[in-house]
Chain A
Amino acid sequence: MEILLQQIINGLVQGSVYALVALGYTMVYGILGLINFAHGEVVMIGAMLALSALTMLLGFGVPPVLAFLLSIALAMAGCMALGYSIERIAYRPLRHAPRLAPLITAIGVSIVLQNLSMMIWGREYHSFPQLIANTPHNFGGAIVNDIQVIIFILALAIMAGLMVVVHRTRLGRAMRAVAENQHAAQLMGVDINRVISITFMLGSALAAIAGVMVSANYGLAHYYMGFILGLKAFTAAVLGGIGNLRGAMLGGLLLGLIESLGAGYIGDITGGILGSNYQDVFAFFVLIIVLVFRPSGLLGERLAERA
């Protein structure tokens, strides 16, 4: 029983991370219909920027908690600038090109960022300073760390925050308008370039937070960490219905749970025929099943269509 509880907690934490990253994919897709494959790398850059800032601040003798918060802020600012530049350089000139073109530049940007990061921060793994006490709490026989609780709450809070932004603010109304029809939005006086830039910056700021949280949880940062994470988060976004904020959250948590329960029990259930090496197969199998019956994902509708 404790083991099951622990697996559920593992799944929820992992799922929250996926959800945090998936929100970025879904926001951009919701507004532009573009899959921003560079998003995973923005997450990685966020973690790396925070790591550099943190090392520097701690070197100056800044108290740890303050240093941590400052470095998150710096990483967010850095990623926002990066997100803005990516959109300006790689996507905006192709906005009216066939859909395949921006997809390919997205993959290109992703490779460029990965290699750039390898040149700046090197090939090795960096250990991320442990600033939040990692004391394990015993919770009915299962172990939970502070950072894991923070990740879970943060993912929920950010999703809620985004919902408010999209559905309750002027900016959100402009976003929904752009998503629905760019030309019409422009005629109504919406500055679509500005709205799209802000969307990218918001998504990138979230990516920075996700990057820092992942690094703080696993205690490491690496130029390659964004790739797999991005892929999984993209899967989560599709699972929940890409373009839908609540879908990203649901998809992320679900994917995390499927993975962790799959890895934990698949061996026992199949009597050792399938092992935990089929963890990913299991997750993608569920994705295929969902897409067969609900091609637009579990909660599939675009940001624009009212949730």
Chain B
Amino acid sequence: MSFHSARSLLLATFALVLIGCEKSATPDQNASGELVVRIGASAPLTGPQAHLGKDNENGTRMAIDDANAKGIVIGGRKAHFELISEDDQADPKTATIVAQKLVDNKVSGVIGHMNSGTSIPAAKIYSDNGIVQISPSATAVAYTAQGYKTAFRVMANDAQQGHVLGEYAAKNLSAKKIAVIDDRTAYGQGLADEFIKAAQANGAQIVAHEYTNDKAMDFTAVLTAVKGKKPDLLFYGGMDAQGGPMAKQVKALALNLKFMTGDGSYTPEFIKLAGDAAEGAYASLPGVPLDKMPGGTEFEKRFVAKYGTIQLYAPYCYDAVNMMIAAMQTAGSAEPAKYMPALAGISYDGVTAKIEFDEKGDLKGGAITVYQVQHGKWQPLETLGAIAPVTH
């Protein structure tokens, strides 16, 4: 009996302590009375795209560190920002688990996901829970086409990018017979489809459409099949981890053609992996070149000092966080429902561009720049598409 009562007393104490903990850790206040704002981030931190995911995380972290150093005030209270970074492994299934975890952690907003394939299914979970999501790099049209009010992106979509690339291939590079390979992800497939539409509209013929996956290393079989169709340009829809080795194998198999790819391969990594086969390859990136970005040079200098080379999307992540915070300041609240309208109507001068959203949450305007590898470096050739005026 006494044992029993002692045990229930112990249990009761435990329960009280637990409740106490719950109380003292209210989500919006820390020990020094500051408003705690949790910002979630999700990207592949393991797997073949881990280098890009880490780059995203670093861009996000830098923005959050900057905001904390600046001492942002939201609704009259000093705010402290916390980053909760999760690994979605570039896998759509994992992304939904991660999204739920971020929701459960009561984040005010999410920067992510990195890939289109992960951003699309995660968007439903954020929407169901009323949490704002800004993807720095998901470019598939489907991401914002689902009609969720909570989904935004700070990069031009694949309809714009694929269109520019297809037109560029057929017109500027006068490619007549084009072969296409994509990695069957939401991003690669979407970009390739838009590219094909635009190329065909400009008179080019698609002689082959082959496929690989986002973990492959060997492309000799599909490239040989492509070789049989004798194209004069090969377009790859996918990321650098495949794009680089593919360009190398194109050369090794003595395919005589121009190699073109999208933003996923516009990285220093691509050149490193392709070696001298990278020379002459084309790629595009939504936005203007880094040194033409309003705050690009300064951002690059600070980023490099802290984390090393920028892989790809770090500046976009940086802008996404800052926009989210700016909207919170305007609304005077870190609650998603309150600051979302402010975000939707924002006009923000970021390091990448002047950013405004259209009614779907897509970037208004949105320039696309075509680059080529020259002397072992990506060099901008031409910036196409509508360029949002930059005031600084």
Contact = CB atoms under 8 A, between A and B. Distances in A.
Interface of A: 3, 6-7, 10-11, 13-14, 115, 118, 122-125, 127, 130, 134, 136, 143, 145, 214, 218-220, 222, 224-225, 228-229, 259-265, 267, 275-277, 279-280
A224 B214 CA distance: 12
B225 interface: yes
20 contacts: A11-B221, A13-B220, A123-B53, A125-B51, A125-B272, A136-B254, A143-B253, A214-B217, A218-B217, A220-B244, A222-B48, A225-B217, A228-B216, A259-B221, A263-B222, A264-B222, A276-B210, A276-B225, A277-B212, A279-B222
Nearest to B51: A124
A118 B212 CA distance: 25
Nearest to B54: A123
A221 to B, nearest CB: 10
B252 A7 contact: no
Residue of A11, A143, A220, A259 with most partner-chain B CB within 10 A: A220
B283 interface: no
Nearest to B277: A219
Interface of B: 45-48, 50-51, 53-54, 184, 209-213, 215-218, 220-222, 224-225, 227-228, 241, 244-245, 248-249, 252-254, 269, 272-273, 275
A6 B255 CA distance: 12
Contact of B273 (A6, A118, A127, A276): A127
A143 B217 CA distance: 19
B269 A275 contact: no
Contacts of B184: 277
Contacts of B227: 3, 6
Contacts of A11: 221
Contacts of A229: 217
A277 to B, nearest CB: 3
A307 to B, nearest CB: 30
A108 to B, nearest CB: 16
Nearest to B271: A127
Query: Most chain-A Cβ atoms within 10 A of its Cβ — which of B215, B217, B228, B269?
Result: B217
B224 A218 contact: no
Contacts of A130: 275
- Interface SS, B side: helix
A280 B215 CA distance: 12
A264 B209 contact: no
B224 A276 contact: no
A264 B225 contact: yes
B40 to A, nearest CB: 21
Main secondary structure on chain A at its contact with chain B? helix
Contact of B245 (A6, A14, A218, A276): A218
Nearest to B227: A3
A228 B228 CA distance: 28
A140 to B, nearest CB: 13
Given A10-B224, A218-B248, A275-B210, A127 B275 contact: yes
A161 to B, nearest CB: 26
Across chains A and B, which 6 residue pairs bring their CB atoms closest together, nearest first?
A123-B50, A277-B211, A263-B221, A124-B51, A260-B221, A10-B220
A266 to B, nearest CB: 9
Given A10-B221, A124-B51, 12 more contacts: A14-B221, A123-B53, A124-B50, A125-B241, A214-B217, A218-B245, A218-B248, A219-B245, A224-B46, A224-B48, A267-B210, A275-B210
**Among the interface residues A7, A124, A134, A280, which one has the most CB atoms of the partner chain B within 10 A?**
A124
Contacts of B218: 14, 218
B224 A267 contact: no
A233 B45 CA distance: 26
A269 to B, nearest CB: 12
Nearest to A266: B225
B51 A276 contact: no
Given A218-B217, A220-B245, A276-B210, A125 B269 contact: yes
A11 B244 CA distance: 21
Contacts of B273: 125, 127, 219-220
Contacts of A7: 221, 224-225
Residue among B209, B215, B224 with the most chain A CB within 10 A? B224
A123 B217 contact: no
Contacts of B213: 277, 280
Nearest to A229: B217
Contacts of A220: 217, 244-245, 273
Nearest to A148: B252
B275 A6 contact: no
A123 B46 contact: yes
Given A6-B253, A218-B248, A118 B211 contact: no
